[in-house]
Structure 1
């Protein structure tokens, strides 16, 4: 047996190698160089075979899985096995809106080639919204319980401690008295702390209006591929119950020069800087606009007890009275005017001054590609302007014509349709300054992903904790 003392620097020359082999009973003598080469090749083959066994075992366990990006089966994305380039990331985002609460569980896959890909979204919603529980905040938190249970089941247990959970409240809670809103948020915080999810700083709070607009803009442009494909961004118009938002990248110098300083902000997304025109109009969401058109005042709109006064409008079916529950659970008696004082012209004469006195006109918006969602979508579907699944493109004048039809032939089963369509038309045309022939993409989903500010918020919170 060879027992030579080996020094590391002479390893390749001093390593003990077999020089005699027996093959099929015949002894073969090898010189040292050939013996060295034969041994090294054998070692490499052994390592390769062992590696293939490991890979085959992992493939049998993991499977050849296709992860959908929210598109049809023909456009699913295959994620091949790359041990160094990908990781799974989740975020649980609750949207406490004025008319309902919605839960989004986002599953992302982070990779090296592009920052992050959205793999899947789980979406659920309940009505009414948290603001309706101002008198019983604990019950308000309990209204989220079933959705929270679904979120717990959706995220792999081993990732719970890494997955942030947040709730952002929008206009419904902004319009409540401070103490009532704070009590609701405190109860939600208590509920969330009972889970194993990652609790982030300011994880349960009222979302700023400008943040809502920016996050919605991020969502639409991310889903449309504007940040990594075309590079051409689109304008985002969001119409909620209590507020409405507009966000876009200005193309004209006059827009930047004429805009109020608070309407402009800069943001860095996916290694690129953007200057944004963004503003949230609190009190001009669809439900708040109804209240103002009806002649309601802020003092009445405080979530208090039922009002006995009947609020009337030329936009409602003539000579009809009914009750209407506004945000905060407050019930109002509302009704139309005599037929001679009702109709589209009289309704428009009431709505248009409200819009023009409150909304800043943006002349260049007619040159932008515009996406509109939330109540823009709902009321366009209700008036048969778009498909209820796929959405569609409409002209501003289509909203005007739909409003005229709804006002001149009132639907007693949908008494606010005339008012809502007239308001939407006026907001787009008299407010933002879109021409009658301007085209708007009205939608609810893009690639089967819900269009909401929540996706943009998920990017923000995951980035803040170092996951993206």
Structure 2
């Protein structure tokens, strides 16, 4: 949950929004409560209680509340539409019990999720609007920055392009701060972090011809695990086997082999059958990437782990690939020694890192020239980078601008500058006044 605030007036039709606070609900996303009646609603209580305390009571009825669901709910809607509707209704009914102005719960499309992430990135970088020296909001006229998002169930790429967007499904038009923007955006469902892990397990079972035990080249050597088949195939991203038994257990043994890992991860993509002038993968049109990009969510965590694990400053494609090679060839003992207390997460870093390598370089088309133009960030200016701020910025177009009782004051920096300028002018004025008086006195003596 994110709490945002903005002034009563607006700039060219869009509210100037800033993040007040955030709260992370315990447990999984609301889609994880499918079939668990009351679970999704209960998961909201702690964060909504925090909102009740942080938002002034006098503003409760005037505070709009929106719920946006993303890829996890998109997958649930595909596989179990009835349960998806039930979860969405349950959380909506729960939010209506609070004294805020509930505006609705909706499942965002993948293109919307990508576009809102792009809006957030460029807002935080002040590419739309920035506060000027004398207290006016100004349009800086800078180029926008592309957005790379990597969630649990999907991944998104969004950027402005001057090239023709051959598939109009990838074209979105936005109006923010009095300006129109045309962007390319694409969301790949089933290419999020969690779904990639499940898809790779299913692929290894298929290629090794076993649903009982497999060797996993992306898991570190010395690591072993067992999982129920239900956890692998209870997703529309994986096709269930003919003789699928949910309670059967799969034994997994890690071998820690970078080359074999990369080869298997690459098979999760399809680089054939493109009906456009250029495709990224799976037959999806994509223009050539241009300009700078910001990569956030799981992109940031993956990049951060690679740097910490290898003590490398990753600023080039070569550094990135070298770091992945090192991590994928580390034993589980080496990993746990370096990162004690993180055993449950360590096994997946090689898989995810190799996936990001294929996605960025083979899929999106980044190379040694363009990779240095990617910034991996979690926050910018104290605000979390993600789709939610962009969502609120866009929704604020629908909110009426309230009457402003007082004119917007200058920020402290602008006030300080004006005070210094005033003092300087006052000193100059006094100097010339004293000089004039002395001149007059001298004239009277003569």
Q: How much does 1:415 deviate?
A: 0.9
Structure 2: runs of 5+ lacking an equivalent: 130-139, 205-210, 236-245, 272-280, 334-342, 403-446
Is 2:220–2:329's contact at 8 Å kept on the other side of the alignment?
no
2:288 matched residue in structure 1:
364
Q: Which moved more, 1:432-441 or 1:410-419?
A: 410-419
Counterpart of 2:7? 109
2:169 counterpart (229, 242, 262): 262
Shift of 1:133: 1.5
Structure 2 equivalent of residue 352 of structure 1: 266
Tell me if the contact between 2:159 and 2:183 (Cα under 8 Å) persists in the aligned partners: yes
Q: Tell me, in whole angstroms, the C-alpha distance in 2 between the residues paired with 1:268 and 1:327.
A: 41
1:183/1:417 Cα in 2 relative to 1: closer, same or farther (>3 Å)? same
Among 318, 321, 328, the residue aligned to 1:400: 321
Shift of 1:311: 5.9
Q: Describe the shift of the 1:393–1:382 C-alpha distance in structure 2 as closer, same or farther (beyond 3 A).
A: closer
Residues 1:416 and 2:348 are matched in the alignment = yes
What displacement does 1:385 show? Answer: 5.6
Q: 1:411 to 1:368 in 2, by over 3 A?
A: farther
Which of 40, 44, 53 aligns to 1:144? It is 44
How far, CA to CA, are the matches of 1:154 and 1:425 in structure 2? 42
Encode CA deviations 1:135-190: one digit per residue, 9 max, x unaligned.
21302210110101111222222222221111111111221211222211111111
| Residues 214, 113 of structure 1: alpha-carbon distance in 2 compared, 3 angstrom cutoff | closer
Q: Which residue matches 1:155?
A: 55
Instruction: Tell me the distance in 1 between the aligned counterparts of 2:325 and 2:314.
Output: 19
Match of 2:359 in 1: 427
Which residue of the partner structure matches residue 65 of structure 1? Answer: none
Post-superposition shift, 1:197?
Answer: 1.1
Task: Report if the CA contact (8 A) 1:235-1:249 is conserved.
Answer: yes
Contact 1:226 1:232 in 2 (8 A): yes
Q: How does the TM-score come out when normalised to structure 2?
A: 0.70
> How many Å separate the matches in 2 of 1:393 and 1:164?
42
Q: Give the aligned partner of residue 172 of structure 1.
A: 72
Q: How many residues get paired?
A: 343
The DSSP-based 3-state class of the residue aligned with 2:23 is strand
Instruction: Go from structure 1 to structure 2 and tell me whether the alpha carbon gap of 1:293 and 1:399 turns closer, same or farther (over 3 Å shift).
Output: farther
Q: How does 1:241-256 map to 2 (within 5 A)?
A: 241-251=152-162, 253=163, 256=164
Give the 3-state SS of the residue equivalent to 2:347 in structure 1.
coil
Distance, in Å, in 2 between the alignment partners of 1:146 and 1:163 is 18
> Which residue in 2 is equivalent to 1:284?
191
Aligned-pair RMSD on alpha carbons?
2.9
Q: Is the 8 A contact 2:170 2:186 kept in 1?
A: yes
Residues 214, 166 of structure 1: alpha-carbon distance in 2 compared, 3 angstrom cutoff: same
Matched, 1:125 2:39: no
Which position in structure 2 is the counterpart of 1:383? 306
Report the CA distance shift for 1:323/1:169 in structure 2 as closer, same or farther (over 3 A). Answer: farther
The 8 Å contact of residues 377 and 444 in structure 1, kept in 2 or not, is answered as yes
Contact 1:246 1:278 in 2 (8 A): yes
Structure 1 stretches of 5 or more lacking a match? 1-102, 298-307
From the superposition, tell whether residues 467 and 311 of structure 1 become closer, same or farther in structure 2 (CA, over 3 Å): farther
> Would you tell me which structure has more strand in proportion to its own residues?
1
Q: Is contact 2:221–2:330 with CA below 8 Å preserved after alignment?
A: no
Q: CA deviation at 1:371?
A: 0.5
Alignment of 1:50-65 (within 5 A): none
Shift in CA distance, 326/164, structure 1 to aligned 2, threshold 3 Å: farther
- After superposition, the C-alpha distances for 1:276-318 in whole angstroms (9 at most, x for unaligned) are 1001100001111111122269xxxxxxxxxx85565321234
Structure 1 match to 2:413: none
**Of the two structures, which has the highest relative contact order with CA contacts closer than 8 Å and spacing of 6 or more?**
2
* 1:389-427, Cα deviation, whole Å (9 max, x unpaired): xxx973333332221111111336311111110001110
* Cα separation, 1, equivalents of 2:270 and 2:203: 18
Matched ranges for 1:171-250 at <5 A: 171-176=71-76, 177-200=80-103, 203-228=104-129, 229-250=140-161
Name the CA distance, whole Å, in 1 between partners of 2:10 and 2:287.
41
